[in-house]
A and B are shown apart, each in its own frame.
Chain A
Amino acid sequence: MNKKIVYFVVVIVLLLAMTGYSAVTGSVSVSIKELIMDLLYGGNEEVAVIKDLRFPRIIVAMFAGASLSVAGVLFQAVMRNPLADAGVIGISAGASFFSLFAMLFLPGLFISGPLFAFIGGSIACLLVYWLSWKSGLNPLRIILTGIAISAMFTGLREAMLMVCSYFNIAVGSSNSSNLLMKTWADVEVITVYGLIGIVLACLVGSWCNVLALQDKKAKNLGMNVTAARLTISAVAVLLAAVATSVAGVIIFVGLLIPHISRQLVGSDHRILIPFSALAGALLILTADTLGRILIAPLEIPASTIMAVIGGPFLIFLLRKSDKVNGI
């Protein structure tokens, strides 16, 4: 138990340190002291730039990481599959395609982005369930179906983007899957829905624990398995959709973080979910910060860094996946 508290403290300290480092480093850089002085008294122009441009980016990165990690934990619990990740199984692609759709045809609505992302994510999720359910969920079949769904929505999205560029329709910033040009409005969306999602996820954590037993056992213990599965999936889709609609598609976070977190704090979802949220925030913030400074002034999107780290990691997990569920 003590070990788990240590891990929590370590991740929180690292997250705070990374936030500070990320805030002061980059094309406009100030010292920590200047930053704090300005936050207290105001008046520094460089810090004003940082507040307008970099702070939103940091917050969006953290919430995107946290949301996608928790979504990963939930998908893995509900599909009983350690390889399920919103990016891998096509939820993000569905959300991304639908939020682009909303941006083109219903640009006026503030809510339309996240809402359509949620609808798109839900459609992708239902498709994955429907197409891979054969008297139970086979882990590999989910991944294969998910990859197909993901490819389909990515293709549709690209086709739509091409049509747009042909007709010279400008598509807003969130067509690219990076964290450039985030505003305080984006922050508002992702913090509100992200927090709602994470709190809901913590509430359904004990259901996730029961689902780790077999469905029939959960049923025998008096649980309404179908209702639990639907609820948990909906929360997971919400989290993935919000992150995608604001920060774009970032693949593999939901795979990497839950796996590492499980090694550190165990498989009890009541602890695993908050821990994954913190660790995911740390990972994406780190990836984004590195992307900003590695080859400045050029930037590597966080999603690119994640894809490079995540690809080998997925292969590693696939190779040992027969052991993951044990017993």
Chain B
Amino acid sequence: MEFKSVNFSYDKKSQLLKQNTGYIPDGKITTIIGPNGCGKSTLLSLLSRENKVSDGEITVNGKEIFQYQPKEFAKMVAMVYQQNEAPVDLTVEQLISFGRLPYKRAFKNTSAEDEEAVDWAINITNLESKRRRKLDQLSGGERQRVWIAMSLAQKTNMLFLDEPTTYLDIYYQMELLELVQTLNIKHNLTIVMVLHDINQALRYSDHLIVMKAGQIVAAGNPEAIVTEDMIKDIYGVDVALHTNHLAGMYLVPLGI
């Protein structure tokens, strides 16, 4: 996936994204970071077709994303949102099978392929024991996994996650990021996520996109682009960067 001089604004007055160019490497984990309001979630919403660019172009396999049929695109890119809504009386399994919607034809029942995909998604997200539970009987971490499973049932090559670890405690955060890593390595999914925690971004990403005030200021291998000066410049925070033989590169905030 590539994007070229992408501009975006909801109204004509305030430009949320200005002249952003970049790419999402296939089969890698890409993380977008930056301070609040820098436009990282907006960029993700453009890449997932939720919003349309005001100017510029976004292409997948050389084809502008809005040239694809909605269902066709839904078979290529799945998105997991930070906050989700669903009727409370649905079971985990029913909810996950919504992910099969792009494959449904009118007046056709569930196919064997649909069932397989749902089973696969439930299996990977480790929800087997919960499949008949209702959503409101699950913990926050399990609920987030249900939403990921729904996206997995879409059987896409690309999975986008908008701040997937927000609202979760550290155990579930780790569980989720490990799951994302497994999906990337074992199942070769291209991952794009927005994260707030720079250390998590450093630890789990192959490719980092750093944004500030609606613009991409750096992109590339995390170890290569992240420096103490750069963090100071982007976030206004003094940090110390260290390397640990288990954790790799990590930073400790020192002050402002």
Check if A and B associate. Answer: yes
Nearest residue (CB) in B for A265 is B89
User: Contacts A210-B98, A222-B102 hold; do A217 and B81 have CB atoms under 8 A apart?
Assistant: yes
Most buried by B among A213, A220, A222, A326: A220
Q: Which residues of A contact B73 (CB under 8 A)?
A: 222
User: Contacts A327-B135, A327-B136 hold; do A221 and B85 have CB atoms under 8 A apart?
Assistant: no
Most buried by A among B50, B77, B85: B85
Q: Are B87 and A326 touching (Cβ within 8 A)?
A: yes
Interface of A is mostly: loop
Q: Are B71 and A327 touching (Cβ within 8 A)?
A: no
Q: Are B74 and A214 touching (Cβ within 8 A)?
A: no
**Residue B67 lies at the interface, judged by CB distance under 8 Å to chain A:** no
Q: Are B85 and A220 touching (Cβ within 8 A)?
A: no
Q: Which residues of B contact A267 (CB under 8 A)?
A: 87-90
Cβ 8 A contact of A220, one of B48, B89, B90: B48
**Residue B180 lies at the interface, judged by CB distance under 8 Å to chain A:** no
20 A-B pairs with CB atoms under 8 Å apart are A212-B85, A212-B86, A213-B85, A213-B98, A214-B84, A216-B45, A219-B49, A220-B48, A221-B74, A221-B98, A222-B70, A222-B71, A222-B73, A222-B74, A222-B101, A266-B89, A267-B88, A267-B89, A327-B86, A327-B135
Give per-residue flags for B7-42: 1 if the beta carbon is below 8 A from chain A beta carbons, else 0.
000100000000000000000000000000000000
Q: Are A327 and B143 touching (Cβ within 8 A)?
A: yes
Give per-residue flags for A241-284: 1 if the beta carbon is below 8 A from chain B beta carbons, else 0.
00000000000000000000000001100000000000000000
Which residues of chain A from 208 to 238 have any CB-CB distance to chain B below 8 Å in the complex? 209-210, 212-214, 216-217, 219-224
Return A259 CB to nearest CB of chain B, in Å: 13
Report how far A213 CA is from B81 CA in the complex, Å. 11
Return A261 CB to nearest CB of chain B, in Å: 12
Return B190 CB to nearest CB of chain A, in Å: 16
Return A225 CB to nearest CB of chain B, in Å: 9
Q: Are A216 and B154 touching (Cβ within 8 A)?
A: no
Q: Which residues of B contact A135 (CB under 8 A)?
A: 10
**Residue A165 lies at the interface, judged by CB distance under 8 Å to chain B:** no
Q: Are A327 and B85 touching (Cβ within 8 A)?
A: yes
Which 5 pairs from chain A and chain B are nearest by CB?
A222-B74, A222-B71, A267-B87, A326-B88, A222-B102
Which residues of chain B from 48 to 84 have any CB-CB distance to chain A below 8 Å in the complex? 48-50, 69-75, 77-79, 81, 84
**Residue A325 lies at the interface, judged by CB distance under 8 Å to chain B:** yes
Return B105 CB to nearest CB of chain A, in Å: 12
Return A170 CB to nearest CB of chain B, in Å: 49
Q: Are B74 and A220 touching (Cβ within 8 A)?
A: yes
Q: Are B84 and A221 touching (Cβ within 8 A)?
A: no
Interface size class of A (residues with CB under 8 A): 10 to 19
For the complex with contacts A217-B81, A327-B86, 8 further pairs of A-B residues with Cβ separation under 8 Å are A214-B85, A219-B49, A220-B74, A220-B78, A222-B75, A266-B87, A327-B136, A327-B143
Q: Are B81 and A216 touching (Cβ within 8 A)?
A: yes
Report how far A135 CA is from B11 CA in the complex, Å. 11
**Residue B99 lies at the interface, judged by CB distance under 8 Å to chain A:** yes
Report how far A267 CA is from B135 CA in the complex, Å. 13
Q: Which residues of B contact A326 (CB under 8 A)?
A: 85-88, 135-136
Report how far A133 CA is from B106 CA in the complex, Å. 30
Q: Are B50 and A221 touching (Cβ within 8 A)?
A: no
Q: Which residues of B contact A266 (CB under 8 A)?
A: 87, 89
Return B101 CB to nearest CB of chain A, in Å: 4
Q: Which residues of A contact B74 (CB under 8 A)?
A: 220-222
Cβ 8 A contact of B102, one of A209, A221, A224: A221
Cβ 8 A contact of A223, one of B49, B70, B84, B89: B70
Q: Which residues of B contact A219 (CB under 8 A)?
A: 49-50, 70
Q: Are A327 and B98 touching (Cβ within 8 A)?
A: no
Most buried by A among B86, B87, B154: B87
Give per-residue flags for A14-39: 1 if the beta carbon is below 8 A from chain B beta carbons, else 0.
00000000000000000000000000
User: Contacts A212-B85, A325-B85, A327-B86 hold; do A221 and B143 have CB atoms under 8 A apart?
Assistant: no
Q: Which residues of A contact B98 (CB under 8 A)?
A: 209-210, 213, 221
Q: Which residues of A contact B136 (CB under 8 A)?
A: 326-327
Give per-residue flags for B126-150: 1 if the beta carbon is below 8 A from chain A beta carbons, else 0.
0000000001100000010000000
Nearest residue (CB) in B for A323 is B88
Q: Which residues of A contact B45 (CB under 8 A)?
A: 216
Report how far A135 CA is from B51 CA in the complex, Å. 12
Nearest residue (CB) in B for A206 is B104
Report how far A210 CA is from B81 CA in the complex, Å. 16
Return B69 CB to nearest CB of chain A, in Å: 8
Q: Which residues of B contact A209 (CB under 8 A)?
A: 98
Nearest residue (CB) in A for B95 is A213
Give per-residue flags for B80-124: 1 if the beta carbon is below 8 A from chain A beta carbons, else 0.
010011111110000000110110000000000000000000000
Return A240 CB to nearest CB of chain B, in Å: 23
User: Contacts A219-B49, A219-B50 hold; do A327 and B101 have CB atoms under 8 A apart?
Assistant: no
